Amino acid sequence: MLWKSLALALLMQHGSTQNMNIPPMMRFQCSQLVVERVDPLVNPGLVPSPHLHQIVGGNSFNASMDHQTHDLPSSSTCTSCTFSEDFSNYWTAVLYFRARNGTFKRVPQSTELQLKGNAGITVYYIPSTDNKTAVTAFKPGFRMLVGDAGLRSQGPDRKVCHRCKPVDGDGSNINCGAPDAQTFPKGFCAGGIRSVITFPTCWDGKNLDSPDHQSHVAYAKGSKANDVGPTGVCPESHPVPIPQVMYEVVWDTRPFNDPNLWPEDGSQPFVYSTGDQNGFSQHGDYVFGWKDDSLQRAMNARCTGDVCDVLKTQTTEEAMKCTVPKVVDEDIEGWLTELPGNPVLF
Ligand SMILES: *[C@@H]1O[C@H](CO)[C@@H](O)[C@H](O)[C@H]1NC(C)=O
Ligand SMILES: *[C@@H]1O[C@H](CO)[C@@H](O)[C@H](O)[C@H]1NC(C)=O
Ligand SMILES: *[C@@H]1O[C@H](CO)[C@@H](O)[C@H](O)[C@H]1NC(C)=O
């Protein structure tokens, strides 16, 4: 019964494509931990970092977090995620609305279908879809990045996309299949805009990180932007199958769906905290921090949805209580005359 309703939820989530094989997938909410200009992966120790991020997960998050020494499970006392053994950190860029008078207002976030929490990020971990390939959970100190904050044109990175959400449900196509696009939707979106970020599923088996935070992982051969879960065979250079991590962020653009607020020429008014007015620069950062072998257990048990017998779970209320104080003292919520960090708009 429970599995059936979860499967139904996932179908609604991913559209009603008939012959689609929905793989087992953990899908859970991580509420907002902090929103600020810090980026321990790309700009370790730099406070403030160039652009604003929204961060969720364990409360040991800080600007430096050296991966050789910073142990997330033992340094954290709480997490903003549903599964209370998950002290990982997850972060993305933040969306702003640009008014006709040139000021910027942060776009509020909302929570995905059937999940609760104060916005933040919906996180997925998807084991292999063939029920045969065992995935190897990440090792302590592992981290990776998808997307490029500097990207301003159609990139090779086809696994970062946007969906214009309808009033109810979430449309009828698979994540990142047309009409989802790397760019922002052009018109009003009745249910807001969803940003999807899908991480690679193959690891080189050696390096916990790499200078670009990307080359130690790779997408499987033949994988496509709109795959549901990992497919294809890992390349020889990156032979180890790892769980597929995916983020979904819902920007609640509804308060701005007013023709009198949009630019007179009809162009869309949204801009990422990177200064990007088209949508190409969205990115997702991941720092692994599950306690002991908890993630491996959950993958082996092929847990689905946000209920998992082999994991400890906390209530939404407990998860929302886990926050960290801001270290950068700046207004990010008012009608701002410039974006935090004043990135070049283009
Ligand atoms: C971050 O946490 C580490 C402990 O892992 C601590 O040594 C360091 O001072 C903290 N850095 C900042 C910038 O707060
Ligand atoms: C700019 O426009 C926004 C949205 O219409 C409005 O709320 C804000 O007060 C305006 N700011 C100034 C300085 O006019
Ligand atoms: C994998 O296992 C699940 C549940 O045990 C099943 O529903 C699904 O059809 C299987 N998938 C494949 C490709 O065998």
Q: Whose CA is nearest to atom 5 of ligand 1?
A: 70
CA distance linking residue 286 with residue 248, whole number of Å: 13
pLDDT 10s digits, 167-180: 987 776 778 888 89
Query: What's the pLDDT score for residue 1?
Result: 26
Count of other CB atoms within 10 angstroms of residue 266: 9
Is residue 4 predicted with pLDDT exceeding 50? no
Q: Does residue 17 surpass a pLDDT of 60? A: no
> What's the rounded Cα separation, in Å, for the pair 292 and 295?
8
328 CA from centroid of ligand 2 (Å): 25
Kindly report, residue by residue over 88-128, the tens digit of the pLDDT: 999 999 999 999 999 999 999 998 877 888 889 999 999 98
Over 80: is that where the pLDDT of 16 sits?
no
CA of 323 to the centre of ligand 2 (A): 30
pLDDT at 60 over 80: yes
If you take atom 1 of ligand 3, which residue's CA is the nearest one?
131
pLDDT tens-digit profile of 218-247? 999 888 777 766 778 899 999 999 999 999
Beta bridge partners of 32: 56
Q: Which atom of ligand 2 is nearest to the CA of 335?
A: 8
Confidence of residue 157 (pLDDT cuts 50, 70, 90): low
Over residues 319-334, mean pLDDT: 96
Are 253 and 270 in contact, with CB atoms under 8 Å apart? yes
Q: Is 73 helix (H, G, I), strand (E, B) or coil?
A: helix
φ/ψ of 11, rounded to 5, equals: -60, -45
Which ligand 3 atom is the nearest neighbour of the CA of 129?
13
Going by CA atoms, what residue is nearest to atom 5 of ligand 2? 99
pLDDT bucket at 277, cuts 50 / 70 / 90:
very high
Mutate to test the pocket of ligand 2, among 96, 97, 98, 103 (most ligand atoms within 8 A of CB): 103
Which atom of ligand 3 is nearest to 131's Cα?
1
Query: Taking 80 as the threshold, does the pLDDT of residue 19 lie above it?
Result: no
Give the pLDDT score at 3: 33
Question: Which residue CA neighbors atom 4 of ligand 1 most closely?
Answer: 70
| Nearest residue (CA) to ligand 1, atom 13 | 63
- What is the percent of the chain where pLDDT is above 90? 77
| Lowest-pLDDT range of 22-31, 318-327, 337-346 | 22-31
User: From the CA of 105, how far away is ligand 2's center (Å)?
Assistant: 9
Query: How much is the pLDDT for 132?
Result: 75
Task: Give the model's confidence band at 133: pLDDT under 50 very low, under 70 low, under 90 confident, else very high.
Answer: confident
- Ligand 3 centre to CA of 134 (Å) is 14
Is the CB of residue 103 below 6 angstroms from any atom belonging to ligand 2? yes
Q: How far apart are CA 285 and CA 91, in angstroms?
A: 5
**Does residue 237 line the site of ligand 1, with CB under 6 A?**
no
Separation of alpha carbons 122 and 114, rounded Å: 11
**pLDDT digit string, tens, across residues 195-215:** 999 999 999 999 999 999 999
Protein residue with its CA nearest to atom 1 in ligand 2: 101
Percent of the chain with pLDDT over 70: 92
Top mutation candidate among 36, 62, 76, 89 for ligand 1, by most atoms within 8 Å of CB: 62
Whether 2 has a pLDDT exceeding 50, the answer reads no
Name all residues whose Cβ lies below 6 A of ligand 3. Answer: 21, 130-131
Model pLDDT, residue 22: 62
CB of 62 closer than 6 A to ligand 1? yes
Does the Cβ of 3 fall within 6 Å of ligand 2?
no
Confidence of residue 129 (pLDDT cuts 50, 70, 90): confident
Average pLDDT, the chain: 90
pLDDT band at 135 (very low <50, low <70, confident <90, very high): very high
- Read off the pLDDT of each residue in 133-153 and give the average, rounded to a whole number: 94
pLDDT at residue 173 in the model: 72
What is the pLDDT at residue 172?
A: 67
What would the 3-class secondary structure string for 95-123 be?
Answer: EEEECCCCCEEECCEECCCCCCCCCCEEE
